[in-house]
Amino acid sequence: MIPGVALCRDLGVEQGCFNVDLDQIRKLFMFRIVLCTDEGYAPHCAVVILSTIMHCSAPADLHFVILTPGLSSPTASALRNMVTDHGAHLDIITVESDISGNLNLGRFGSGAIMRLYMDRYLPTQCKKALYLDCDLLVLSDISTLTRIDLCGRAIGAVTDLCSPDAYAKQSGRTPYCNTGVLMIDLELWREQAIGERALSYLQQATGGLRYPDQDALNQVLAGNWFSLDLSWNFQPAAYTALEKKFDYLANRHEELIGAVHRPKIVHFIGGVKPWHAECTHPLQDLFIYFSAFTPWPIDRIGLKASLPLNRRLRLAFKQPRQRRRRNMLMYQLPDRAVHQAQLIQNGETAK
C-alpha cells in the first residue's frame, strides 16, 4: 500500500485532506505496548499497565493496546479511565471471535494466540511493539527496553529458565525463549510473516504442545532472536538457578545476580499467581501493592484468611525461604506510587 494512502486510512480521513491533528499523527508513530486479556484476566492486566505507568518518566509517551475476545462495558470503561487519568493512552480492540479456529490449545484459551495477530491491529506506521503477558509486574522504566538495538532480529526476548536436567534434554536444540515479554520489530515481524507461520505450525502440530504459542514462536524463530538481559523477564526459576548455581548459566552469573537484586519485569510463571491465596512468590506483596491503584485492589488479609487453617500452616513453613529471597531485592518504590498511596490512605482521589 502507498504510504500516504495507509496514513489516511489509519487516520480515518480522505486523501488530499491535510486538516489533520498533528497529535493523531504522533500517536500513530508511537510504539505500542500490547496485552491480550479476557474479562477474567482484566484486573491482572490492569496491574501490568499501572505498574508500567508508575515507573515511566513520561507516561504521555505510553500507548497501550489491549486485544480481547470481548470485555464488558464497565470493565472497558474502568481500564480506559485508569489509563487516561495517568496521562497515558489506551486502545481496546475486540478481535475476531473465531481467531483460534479448531486449534487444540489445551488449558489456554484464544487469548494465548492473539499476540500472533497483533500486527493486524496496529498502525502500519508503528515500527516497534512491546508485548507483555498479564501475569507480570513492571518495576522499571520500559523506555530503556524500547531503545535496545535488536541487531537485525525481529524479536528480543529472555531465555526460558529451566532445571539443568531439562536443559540437558534440550542439548543440541536451538535456544528457547520465554515469550511473556517480547520486544518486537514490527517491520521484520511482518516481512517474515512470523505470526502467520506460527499459526500454521499450530495448525499442523499433531501432538499437544505444553505452551502452544510459545512453542510455535520458538519453532518459527529457530533461535534467531535477540537475547535480552534476564532482568527484563525475571522468572521464579532464577532464585533456584542462583542458589544451586545452574551450570548452563555459569557464564551469566553476574547477570543472574543483577536480575535477582534488581528485576525490571517480574514474571509470575506457574499455575499459582499472586492473586491466589496459596501464592508463595517472594514478590507477591508488590503485585498486591500496585493492585491498590487499579479499580480492582486485592485484599491481602482477606486473601490469606480465605484458606483453611491447615493450608495456612503449610504456607507458614515456606515463609523463611520466601522472606530470604524477598530480602535479596534492591528496589525502591517510585515517588508517584508513594504519593498515590498516601492519597488513598487519606481518602482522596489518586491521580
Please report, for the chain, the start and end positions of each structural domain, with discontinuous segments joined by +. Answer: 22-345
pLDDT of residue 99: 59
Q: Is the pLDDT of residue 19 over 70?
A: no
pLDDT of residue 343: 79
pLDDT of residue 50: 98
Segment 103-157, tens digit of pLDDT:
665 555 666 788 998 999 999 999 999 999 999 999 999 999 999 999 999 999 9
pLDDT of residue 347: 75
Residue predicted with more confidence, 108 or 346: 346
Max mean pLDDT among 46-50, 125-129, 209-213 falls in 46-50
Segment 244-262, tens digit of pLDDT:
999 999 999 999 999 999 9
How would CATH label the architecture of 22-345?
A: Alpha-Beta Complex (3.90)
**177-to-82, 115, 297, 326 alpha-carbon distances in Å:** 32, 15, 32, 25
**What's the mean pLDDT when you consider all of the chain?**
88
Q: Mean pLDDT across the stretch 3-25?
A: 53
- Could you give the CA distance from residue 275 to residue 284 in angstroms, rounded to a whole number? 8
- Provide the percentage of residues in the chain whose pLDDT is more than 90: 68
pLDDT of residue 20: 54
- Could you give the CA distance from residue 71 to residue 162 in angstroms, rounded to a whole number? 35
Indicate the pairing of strand 89-94 with strand 63-68.
parallel
Could you please report the per-residue DSSP string of 16-32?
T-----HHHHHHHHS-E
Exposed/middle/buried for 323, CB within 10 Å: 0-12, 13-18, 19+? exposed
pLDDT of residue 169: 76
Segment 150-209, tens digit of pLDDT:
999 999 999 999 998 888 776 567 889 999 999 999 999 999 999 999 988 888 876 667
pLDDT of residue 2: 47
pTM of this structure: 0.89
Which H helix or E strand runs over 312?
helix 309-316
Q: Mean pLDDT across the stretch 284-307?
A: 94
Q: Which residues contact 201 (CB under 8 A, 6 or more apart)?
A: 216, 219, 220
